Amino acid sequence: MERVAIVTGGSRGIGRAVAERLAADGQAVVIGYAGNEVAAKTAVAAVEAAGGRAVAVRADVAEEGAVAALFDAAEQRYGGVDVVVNAAGVMVLGPVAQLDLDDLDRMWRTNVRGAFVVAREAARRVREGGAIINFSTSVTRLSLPTYAAYAAGKGAVEVLGPILAKELRGRRVTVNSVAPGPTATDLFFDGKDQATVERIAGMSPLERLGTPDDIAKVVSLLAARDSWVNGQTVFVNGGAA
């Protein structure tokens, strides 16, 4: 039976790389996106050009009705849901003393509430033998200045995973988090000058930024049927932390 994956935040960056990789693995992919319809259609076209199957569905991950509709679309089009990758995220940087609380609320609405809403729906609907994969960040270990609010929210996501894994005992559904290090995406480059980018890239012994494909490879492993990895946070950062 063909496996079916939902990838939120799947229209760009790491999410798109994950969608393409899971499609290459033979899964039908439902790409959830927040608002950029052009990017979502481009991602679907890339999957289809490579011989895969995909559809894009707009959904705000923090809205339970929208998330339920996203899962409904996957079930109606492909017959069920086996893998859920919650890659949707918002990042606003700033020192604790200066961070605008509206920015904090906006980040946490997507990164914490959104992760919980998606995980809750996945816990209800993912078929036996499936996988739920959330996204954290290696900054929870690196402790970089200006990342406090973002990393704190991702820390909440890390705690969610092992608890949900235990709650799903008996269904052979794994729940893990992936914690990327600095990765070459638009989200990472936003607001950084070249010197900052080079300094951060040099933190890894491999002396480079990660790529979305580096992260997608790990997600592919965690999404495999009957994986033995469960309740874990997997740090993918080239040895920076």
| Per annotation, catalytic residue among 33, 78, 147, 150 | 150
Rounded distance between C-alpha atoms, residue 154 and residue 148, angstroms: 10
- DSSP line for 119-156: HHHHHHHPPTT-EEEEE--THHHH--TT-HHHHHHHHH
Q: In 49-130, where do the E strands start and end?
A: 54-58, 83-86
Q: Please confirm, yes or no, whether 78 is among the known catalytic residues.
A: no
Rounded distance between C-alpha atoms, residue 107 and residue 94, angstroms: 12
**Residue 37, class by beta-carbon neighbours within 10 Å (0-12 exposed, 13-18 middle, 19+ buried)?**
exposed
Rounded distance between C-alpha atoms, residue 58 and residue 34, angstroms: 6
Q: Are 14 and 38 in contact (CB under 8 A)?
A: no
Rounded distance between C-alpha atoms, residue 159 and residue 118, angstroms: 15
Cβ atoms within 10 Å of 64's Cβ, excluding its own: 15
In a 3-state reduction of DSSP, which class is residue 239?
coil
- Amino acid code (one letter) for 84: V
- Catalytic residue numbers, as ranges: 150
